[in-house]
Amino acid sequence: MAIEPVWPQMRLVLEADMTYRARQLALGGARLLFADMHPNLRWQDGELYIRKMISRHRVAASGRGLLLLPSVFAHKPAPPVSPDEPPSLVYPSRGVATLWGSETPTVDTTALVSLLGSSRTKLLSLLEEPLPTVELARRLNVTPSAVSQHLRVLHSTGVVTRTRDGRHVLYRRSMLGDRLTTTAARPRTHDT
């Protein structure tokens, strides 16, 4: 019950971390996957080393895989408690600081809605992190085809970018999209 009110935000952070880690693994293998995960982790010669750990045991993952578990509560990597447990690694998720910051002020997006329309403005606001069409449709409670039509327009005007990630195409605000939403968030000053 304590986590339920912030679970949607936590889930976004965790999903963004998993997407990032999958991309790192695809681009550079295990070396790149673990390169920026935590200063206490080091990948060398096919082995993962964890510095500054209380226990001193080895877990053989060869042929068994390694389950990576991002956490919004961990402050350092944590391997299995005993060498008999399946190979896993709990690690601090990227973007955790965005969860515990102050509330984002309510944004007056009237001008942006006038420019893009209500549906496209809502889409653009969701695309701070990469998301597939199906997830956007779920969050907006509309059909994926409706979202696709809006994304085509936003992409063709350079407001969003898209990249393929396995079977999904992920959309995200471009620099132009970020500037539009930032400009909409600024308080307006009136000339006197």
Structural domain spans, the chain: 4-98, 110-185
Name all contacts of 110-114 with Cβ < 8 Å and 24+ positions apart: 111/184, 112/180, 112/181, 112/183, 112/184
Per-residue pLDDT of 12-45, as tens digits, reads: 889 889 988 998 999 999 889 998 898 888 888 8
Name residue 31's beta-bridge partners.
Answer: none
182 vs 70 pLDDT, higher one: 70
- What confidence category does residue 54 fall into, taking pLDDT thresholds of 50, 70 and 90? low
Q: At 62, is the secondary structure helix, strand, or coil? A: coil
Joined tokens for residue 165: 């990630």
| Residue 104: per-residue pLDDT | 45
Amino acid at 60: A
Question: Residue 166: which region, alpha, beta or left (left: phi > 0; alpha: psi -120 to 50)?
Answer: left
Beta-carbon count within 10 A of 113 CB: 15
Instruction: Answer yes or no: are the C-beta atoms of 172 and 129 closer than 8 Å.
Output: yes
- For residues 158 and 190, what is the distance between their CA atoms, to the nearest angstrom? 30
In this prediction the pTM is 0.53
Only one residue has tokens 């549906």, namely 119
Average pLDDT value for residue range 74-90: 83
| CATH class (in words) of the domain with range 110-185 | mainly alpha
